Amino acid sequence: MREADLLLGGRLRLHQATSGHRAGTDAILLAAAAPPTDGTILDAGAGTGAAGLALGQRCPAASLTLVEIDPDQAALCRDNLALNGMAARGRVVACDLTSAKARRAADLADGKAEVLLTNPPWLEPGKARLSPDDDRARAHAQAPGVDLADWIRACTALTAPGGTLVLVHRADRLGDILAALGGRFGHVAIRPVHPRAEAPAHRLLVTARKGSRAPLTLLPGLVLHDSGGRFTPQAEALHRGETCLAAGQ
């Protein structure tokens, strides 16, 4: 097998396809926004497992469940668990997480995740131009008949009472995100992510607590690049795993 890609300043090693969907900033920020836990971390729609593994490194007592529908990506998740020394405390579940029947068949129990990370497919079929690469299109586009509300409904079922959902998504889907969380999660905190200081936010990092009635909080924005196109000091530190975005850390 070829050399692994290195993330978090070389501390996280990742086997992934040379083309198609590849882990990057979204996965790093997703893990950085998550609170620490000694319980179960579940990466819903894990791809090659980058977000779950990154949080797993920060939470060495936690167990890991990586859920991925694509069998090739699920196989890479298994490789990456072993590659990073987490095979003994992690497992990969290859199933359609939006199907309760498929979850049961795969022995994926509801209500167990203390922290659930998810980077859902965020392109709507018929409303967006999809990549000609099948793997990339499958990773980025919602499956026919499955929308964001269905995805969050499944994530709700998988999250433990009082557990935390951490979501990264497009900024223009904020209304849909809040609608899907309504009645299920409270203590919602939203952090806009800007490509540059003068640019509108293009991503949102959202955390929410299952069953909470606490009000919504709008957090300070995160700026990724300076005027020269380089990472800002904060973004660089996040990508190197030297800091995180979770409250109190």
Domain ranges of the chain: 5-239
E strand map for the chain: 5-7, 12-14, 40-44, 63-67, 90-93, 113-118, 159-170, 185-196, 203-210, 217-218, 222-225
β-sheet bridge partners, residue 63: 40
pLDDT at 133: 47
pLDDT at 135: 53
pLDDT at 247: 63
At the topology level of CATH, where does 5-239 sit? Rossmann fold (3.40.50)
pLDDT at 17: 84
- For 233, other C-beta atoms within 10 Å of its C-beta total 10
Contact 58, 49 (CB under 8 A): no
The rounded distance, in Å, linking the Cα atoms of 161 and 165 is 11
Going by C-alpha positions, the residue among 68, 73, 90, 69 that lies closest to residue 14 is: 73
CB-based contacts of 218: which residues, under 8 Å, 6+ apart? 189, 190
* pTM reported for the whole predicted model: 0.90
Predicted confidence pLDDT, tens digits, the chain (249 residues) = 467 899 999 999 999 987 766 789 999 999 999 999 999 999 999 999 999 999 999 999 999 999 999 999 999 999 999 999 999 999 999 999 999 999 999 999 999 999 999 999 965 556 546 445 455 444 444 455 679 999 999 999 999 999 999 999 999 999 999 999 999 999 999 999 999 999 999 999 999 999 999 999 999 999 999 999 999 999 999 999 999 997 655
**In this structure, what token pair is assigned to residue 178?**
């809040």
Contact 235, 225 (CB under 8 A): yes
- First CA to last CA across the chain, in angstroms? 36
